[in-house]
Amino acid sequence: MPAWLEDLYWTYQNVVTALGVNGLLALSMYVVLAAGQLSLGQAAFMGLGAYSSALMTLWFGWPFWLVLPAACAAPVAFALAVGGPTLRLSGVYLAIATIGLGEVLRAVYLNVDALGGALGLSGIPEQASPLLIFSVLGVALAVLWLVGRSGAGRAMEALREDATAAQSMGIDVRRVRLVVLVASAVLAGLAGALSAHATDFIGPNDFGFEPAVTILSFALLGGIGSPFAPVLGAWVLTLLPELLRGFADLRLVLDGVVIVLAVLFLPRGLLSWRMPRRAA
């Protein structure tokens, strides 16, 4: 690495990491929205991945190549457990139910001493390099692109457009909804594990209601016409606060104004292009 690039990297390391992690979280939101499910459990899935991976490292000293895939286990188990009862719900009811489940988990992190309580867990070794984080993001993008261009992608879009008609085409609506929820849990779990091992500290408030809404705003801003759109939205919303740093106190206001303007004038997102649904 040339010296100037190294300088830049050390200065903006947190931002670089956040770009990759938030990109994964945006994809975690994308897979459920693409199938027409407004589930807001992504922050909770991320928290499960972060806490379980931190414990595997801190308590058991497992190597990171083992921790990363294993970090998906807890979020996936949670998705399967809550999937049965919550997938009967849709729209805003599902959103509220998943927010509630996320708050339950936050209360658990806050009150269990072994999880560090309000202080969280610190001293997690920084084993997730930016290269690894962006590789995971790249693989996730490629998989979603390829799956999107197949019968599975058409089934998801059909479900989003009209669940009744989709079911009458022979699409098993409950199964698709459960599969996308599990995929969402895997992506958010990976994001949680990577972020925990890139920043050395995690706390209960990293995975509450506010991050859940932030993750939703990635997809709202970027769009859901293709998997690239929500990642673009995540990057814009991650970089915007940095670019607006000069405005000091006005930063959050301008941040909000950008989102409002985007929703008003770009209802289908920054990148409204709709991906084709056929295998090339």
Which of residues 34, 46, 72, 155 is near another protein by CB under 8 A? 155
Using CB under 8 A, pick the residue from 5, 114, 264, 279 that binds another protein. 279
Contacts of 264 (CB under 8 A, 6+ apart): none
Q: Identify residues 159-178 at the interface with another protein (CB under 8 A).
A: 161-162, 164-173
**Closer residue to another protein in complex, CB, 251/277:** 277
Instruction: Give, as ranges, the residues between 237 and 276 that touch another protein (CB under 8 A).
Output: 274
Binding range to another protein, per CB under 8 A, among 47-55, 123-131, 145-153, 239-247: 145-153
Could you tell me the smallest distance in angstroms from the CB atom of residue 27 to another protein? 15
Determine how many CB atoms are found less than 10 A away from the CB of residue 83: 18
Report the nearest approach of another protein to the CB of residue 250 (Å).
38
- Tell me how far apart the terminal alpha carbons of the chain are, to the nearest angstrom: 37
H or E, element range at 8: helix 3-34
Q: Are 174 and 159 in contact (CB under 8 A)?
A: no
Q: Do residues 126 and 13 lie in contact, with contact meaning Cβ atoms separated by under 8 Å?
A: no
CB 275 within 8 A of CB 156: no
Q: How far apart are CA 248 and CA 244, in angstroms?
A: 8
Stretch that binds another protein, among 62-70, 83-91, 151-159, 215-223 (CB under 8 A): 151-159
Q: Which is nearer to another protein, 147 or 244 (CB)?
A: 147
Nearest residue to 46 (alpha-carbon basis) of 248, 244, 193? 193
Q: Which one of residues 25, 56, 67, 158 is an interface residue with another protein (CB under 8 A)?
A: 158
Q: Toward another protein, which CB reaches closer, 77 or 173?
A: 173
Task: Calculate Rg over the CA atoms of the chain.
Answer: 19
Tell me which residues touch another protein (CB under 8 A): 142-143, 146-147, 150-152, 154-155, 157-158, 161-162, 164-173, 274, 277-279
